[in-house]
Amino acid sequence: MKNFLLVLLWLFLSALWEIIVSPSISISGVKPDIGIAILVYLALYYGIGTALFFGFFWGIIIDSVTPGNLGLSSLLYVLTGYMIIFIRTHFEWSSPIAQSLIVLFAAFLFSGVFFLITNIGEPGGLFYYIIRYGITSALYTMVIWWVGQFFFGAPQDRIPV
């Protein structure tokens, strides 16, 4: 119940970020993926259940803007969350650099697969979107993660997966 409320809180906070903060810090249309940053945080700090629930519902919230894709972002966030948990289990992740690399990897994995699926049959468009938005958004997300680390400190492993 406690974790459910936590996920709900993060969902509301993320939605607020998307509506209020994100448009203001957008650089040439490139925005940080706050969902990935929180997904990584929850995966590292709270474990698989909380992270995957967050990813699933955040995906639905994101897709509700374009209802035709409803379910796609949920699927990808769940997969990305699972990959983060996998990395967390098999690799040393507690250093800030490792965490930043996880964020970079997760953001790029999510956007890469998303553009791959939404641009099937259009390889030109796929590469354009990956370079124009995928890589830049992943880097921007990593920067936001650094900012978060600077203010709140790096998450530590407290809960066994």
Partner 1 sequence: MLPIALLLISFLLLFLPIEYKESFAGITIRIFYAPGKILKEKFEGLYKVKERARELEAELTSAKLKISFYSDASRENARLREFLDFQSSYDFKLIPAEIIKKTDSPHRFSVLINIGNGGKIKPDMTAVSDEGLVGRVQFVFNDYAEVQLLTDPTCRVAAVDTRSRVQGILKPNPSGVLIFDNVPAHENIMVGDTLKSSGLGGVFPPGIPLGVITEINIRSSSYLFAEIVVKPFVDFDRLERFFILGNKEE
The only residue of 26, 64, 89, 95 in contact with partner 1, by rule CB under 8 A:
64
Considering the rule CB under 8 A, would residue 5 count as an interface residue with partner 1? no
Residue closer to partner 1, measured from CB, 71 or 123: 71
Q: Which member of 15, 30, 135, 139 binds partner 1 (CB under 8 A)?
A: 15
Phi and psi torsions of 121, nearest 5° = 85, 0
Q: Residue 131 CB, nearest distance to partner 1 (Å)?
A: 27
How far apart, in whole angstroms, are the C-alpha atoms of residue 37 and residue 153? Answer: 14
Contact indicator for 136, 30 with CB cutoff of 8 Å = yes
- Rounded CA-CA distance 27/140 in Å is 9
Instruction: Lay out the site mask for partner 1 across 17-36 (x = CB under 8 A, - = otherwise).
Output: -xxx----------------
Which window, 31-39, 67-75, 91-99, 137-145, contacts partner 1 (CB under 8 A)? Answer: 67-75
At 7, list the tokens. Answer: 């996920």
Evaluate whether 58 touches 131 at the Cβ level (below 8 Å): no
